[in-house]
Structure 1
């Protein structure tokens, strides 16, 4: 894969993103539901998630690994769950998730909580941070959709926090193109289980 900061990294990322999004769009809907439940089951048994008082997560859309069951299970377990609100500059503010009925349509086809905003630094107070992505490398380098939202958010998360990307099994790759601003995660949750890096 491309070297850190090399001129070809951006083009390589774009090509890989296109391939990964195409693969996701081909997944059967029934499979998406089964995979969402499996990912939720794996994460809910992780000690880092079980011990967490606050979990930062996200509301999945389209063919992303589904988070609906996971978010509701976290609430049922008594967790405080915060989810992102995308700001005009593509940074992430955060708000408390109070169930799917508390969500309203937002920009870019997203759903977000209707409640008060907590500020961009709220993610720093989460005990576990669950993020979307398109792929992850064996060293934890995450490939996102290209807006940089989650790289900025992950930069605010203290070292040692459980940061985990939710993916499908075939999105665990030996390497991904990366640039200097890209942030690593410590784990990936897939339908097969949770893999911890390093």
Structure 2
């Protein structure tokens, strides 16, 4: 494609990009101690989510950088006998899945990610989860989540919707990342809850299979 050409950028794209940049700038100012302390509290709050407490299988992810930390939560769920699925990034940005078997079974992959070293279960494995914990940068009062823009979880949510599965969708965030509005697009699926260090925040979000 010639330099300087490409698909037009919509106002929604621009607004999302600006919001992403603002939130990432705030996260970048967090210290490692801040992130570690938040991860412990976030795990405690997440385990108060009834859907998570009752789940037999949870799709989650390993946090990177200054994302709200997930390792204490992964360990807690694994210790309780919950089957925890973690994403494995594919070359086309889609996600495969593998079971979490402890921090000693995580290996470094591209882009600074940590991935399970066990058998790959296929992209459809996520449809078997009772709860899907989504990474994000923000969520608004309607449950619209702002992702990083890579499109990986758009595919995951589309796959879940097409399968007719009904997992509870939740996003893990810092408290300041509950915002007034996230620019929405037709394919966006709202989450039912956000978990932050201050507690659980509920939204009136229909499950994926109810949306056309």
TM category (shorter chain) comes to: over 0.9
**Structure 2 unmatched ranges of 5 or more:** 1-8, 205-212
1:178 match: 184
**Structure 1 unmatched ranges of 5 or more:** 1-5
Indicate yes or no: 2:175 matched with 1:169.
yes
Q: TM-score, normalised by structure 1?
A: 0.93
Of 17, 20, 25, which aligns to 1:22?
A: 25
SS in 1 for 2:136: coil
Aligned positions, number: 193
Of 21, 39, 46, which aligns to 1:43?
A: 46
**Are the aligned partners of 2:174 and 2:197 in contact in 1 as well (CA < 8 Å)?**
yes
Indicate yes or no: 2:28 matched with 1:13.
no
**Are the aligned partners of 2:127 and 2:165 in contact in 1 as well (CA < 8 Å)?**
no
**Are the aligned partners of 2:88 and 2:97 in contact in 1 as well (CA < 8 Å)?**
yes
SS in 2 for 1:74: helix
Q: TM-score, normalised by structure 2?
A: 0.87
* C-alpha separation in 2, matches of 1:132 and 1:167: 8
1:92 match: 95
SS in 2 for 1:60: coil
Indicate yes or no: 2:110 matched with 1:104.
no
* C-alpha separation in 1, matches of 2:108 and 2:36: 22
Of 118, 133, 138, which aligns to 1:135?
A: 138
Task: Tell me by how many angstroms 1:16 deviates.
Answer: 0.9
Structure of higher CA gyration radius: 2
Task: Tell me by how many angstroms 1:126 deviates.
Answer: 0.2
* C-alpha separation in 2, matches of 1:87 and 1:29: 29
2:127 match: 124
Task: Tell me by how many angstroms 1:195 deviates.
Answer: 0.7
Task: Tell me by how many angstroms 1:154 deviates.
Answer: 1.7
SS in 1 for 2:21: helix
Task: Tell me by how many angstroms 1:159 deviates.
Answer: 5.8
**Are the aligned partners of 2:195 and 2:201 in contact in 1 as well (CA < 8 Å)?**
yes
**Are the aligned partners of 2:60 and 2:84 in contact in 1 as well (CA < 8 Å)?**
yes
**Superposed CA RMSD:** 1.3
> Superposition pairs for residues 142-157 of structure 1, below 5 Å?
142-157=145-160
